[in-house]
Amino acid sequence: MYDAKLAVETISSNGKVTVTYAWGTLGDNHPGEAAGVGRIVGTTLKLERLPNGADVSLVMRPDRTLAGTVRLAGQTYTGAFLKQ
């Protein structure tokens, strides 16, 4: 199981977003957090590569949960983000 949190801080009219992304232990990667930027296109939020090397994309599902995909060090991790 992989724990992560996403806080969307700003969303501009052109779809650009700023976020804070926090992660737990994942492979050899220790817990941490980073400011990030990305873009929303349709129902997908794609972040630019994070400082830890992770590529993160999130898709809004019809039930309003986010399906997340994290690619890091040749591995792909998927799961759901639940609103808190």
Q: Where are the domains of the chain?
A: 4-81
Predicted TM-score (pTM) of this structure: 0.84
> For position 67, what pLDDT does the model report?
94
Looking at residue 47, its amino acid is: L
pLDDT in tens, the chain (84 residues): 568 899 999 999 999 999 999 988 877 778 989 999 999 999 999 999 998 898 999 999 998 889 999 998 898 989 888 777
Q: Please report the DSSP string for 11-69 in residue order.
A: E-TTSEEEEEEEE--BTTBPPEEEEEEEEEETTEEEEPPPTTS-EEEEEE-TTS-EEEE
